[in-house]
Structure 1
Amino acid sequence: MINANPRAIALWQIISCFFVTVLLLSSCSAHRRAISKAPGVNLISNTEASRNNDAIKKERKDIIAAYVPYTASSYIDRFKTIAIQEMNLNGIPASITLAQGLFESGNGNGDLAKIANNHFGIKCTSDWHGRSYYKDDDLVNDCFRVYDNPEDSYRDHSNFLKRKRYAALFELDKNDYKGWAYGLKQAGYATNPKYPDLIIGIIEKYHLDQYDRPESETQKIKREDRVLAQINQNIGKAVKDSLIQNTPPAKLYTIKTGDTLYNISRRFGLTVDELKALNNMADNTIKIGQTLVIAK
């Protein structure tokens, strides 16, 4: 057996401990970074989310305390009128809207419905400027929209569907609930492959198709023209919003009193047509406070 120098052994132990400590610290640091950047983690902290939710609960404590749980039947009675109104305005079958409301909100008894008046689980998007409620879903502390009342949730559900991906659905008959159920899945509304069958099952179980109404060919054409025009407007707004968000501030200009496209274009060395092309503008209409891109 080799007799090692005690001092050398002690020195080696100190060096070994040092390297082990460094490795552990590095591992912890890397782990913390991985956690902070991991997919499925939102940017808002648990403390901020909790503080925000507590404020909403405090503001609505009397309403929450007086809340009477819905049955499926009482939920349908409560919301069938607004579902029919939205159907007549936009062409979404009332049966589809009611079935989605029942399914997404747990018959109106889920936290989002009780606290945030959100009956369809609609999340915050870049164009949402209202209040928010945070709840774990696809992300930790996922952001959901808060409404003043449930009817606003129903109206926003219709507006939410007026997007390019759902445009073809508005060409269906407004009493074609099966076409809408399968079309929503195909357009990416839900990831569950059984979503159409679940929605159709709810409709047929509670006979929700009794609230759907047929429309004449003339009525359908007028309704399609109106809704598809709104969808095109929304698409244009989304493109403009994205353009503004992805343009450096130095290349943006906010319209002030007295501005015209002509004097703005002259100021930045552009023609009116070039300015309109930069901003995807169809006409010369501008308004105070509007943001324009003034350079490539």
Structure 2
Amino acid sequence: MKIKVVFLAVSALVLTSCGSGKNVVKSTPNEVDLEPKEEKMPELPQLEQIQKPLKTTTTHTEIYIQKFAPIAVKKMHEHGIPASITLAQGVLESGSGRSPLALRSNNHFGIKCHRGWQGHSVTHDDDEKGECFRKYKYPETSYEDHSQFLLTRERYASLFKLKNTDYKGWAYGLKRAGYATDRKYPQKLISIIKKYNLDAYDKIQPDGSLAAETPSYEIGSHKVEKGDTLYSIARKYNTSVQRLKEVNGLTDNNISIGQELMVR
């Protein structure tokens, strides 16, 4: 039986570039303009910055994944990079959206300026003092630029011969190609993917359905209809009422027709 998944339409809407595997130093950046090009308005709604968990049992990382998964899946179908890899890189490189570079510059992958960059930039201390990093107006632009960074560099070409579901091959391939200097970088990505079941996003089809081999649990959202209760929704998606309340920030069992609920 095909299970349809509709991604949550979030309100308001990765890694160091070949080189650094370090976190960005929390220093005040100086903005530099390098004849910036105008950024296109993203197709997906923009996300609010990640600040505090909705509940003490809901982590920053879970919130980050819930909000940015639609973008990662969209980019997977456009460019062939597993959504699990993109999300894991975003989590690792941006501190789940809370690093200074992500908060101030929407740079979720720590990509440096490099020769030919024509966008805005900021300076941060990384491998060297005052290095140039790319700055974006929208989070989705950072995700698109991350895809283009991998697509347009020959040393990553072999990765695109792998299947979307081969996240382990991608993780080790990124390290071999020189994306990060951290020797344990592949293991860190794989650990994040396993902990948060990110490989399930790799099985989302372009039409929003799950691949046949995907486990029966769902990742997406449910639009509340007449007669729905948290209990009936929980049973439908093989989860619990408490879990639904946690991931949606609900303090009671009240829901309304038309309300979008995240289901995991």
Q: What TM-score bracket applies, with the shorter chain setting the length?
A: 0.5 to 0.7
Gaps of 5+ in 2: 1-27, 33-47, 54-59, 206-264
How is 1:13-32 mapped onto 2 (pairs within 5 angstroms)?
none
Give the AA of the match of 1:135. Answer: H
Calculate the TM-score normalised by the size of structure 2: 0.56
How is 1:81-160 mapped onto 2 (pairs within 5 angstroms)?
81-160=70-149
- Structure 1: 4+ residue segments shifted above 6 A: none
Call closer, same or farther: CA 1:124–1:211 in 2, change over 3 Å.
same
Residue 69 of structure 1: CA displacement?
Answer: 3.8
Identity of aligned residues (%): 54
SS of residue paired to 2:101: helix
Give the AA of the match of 1:212. Answer: D
Give the AA of the match of 1:173. Answer: K
CA distance in 2 between partners of 1:157 and 1:213 (Å): 21
Residue of structure 2 in register with 1:79 after alignment: 68
In structure 2, which of residues 154, 163, 167 is the aligned counterpart of residue 173 of structure 1?
163
Residue of structure 1 in register with 2:51 after alignment: 68
| Structure of higher RCO (CA pairs closer than 8 Å, 6+ residues apart) | 2
- The size of the alignment, in residue pairs, is 156
Give the AA of the match of 1:52. Answer: E
Residue of structure 1 in register with 2:229 after alignment: none
Higher Cα radius of gyration: 1
Residue of structure 1 in register with 2:246 after alignment: none
Residue 52 of structure 1 pairs with residue 31 of structure 2: yes
Calculate the TM-score normalised by the size of structure 1: 0.50
Call closer, same or farther: CA 1:67–1:99 in 2, change over 3 Å.
closer
CA distance in 1 between partners of 2:180 and 2:169 (Å): 15
Q: What is the aligned-residue RMSD (CA, Å)?
A: 2.0
SS of residue paired to 2:63: helix
The structure whose residues are more often helix, as a share, is: 1
Give the AA of the match of 1:203. Answer: I
In structure 2, which of residues 200, 203, 217 is the aligned counterpart of residue 210 of structure 1?
200
Residue-by-residue CA offset, 1:121-174 (whole Å, 9 max, x unaligned): 000011210011110001110100000111100000000001100000001001
Residue-by-residue CA offset, 1:172-226 (whole Å, 9 max, x unaligned): 00111000000000111111111000000000001000100288xxxxxxxxxxx
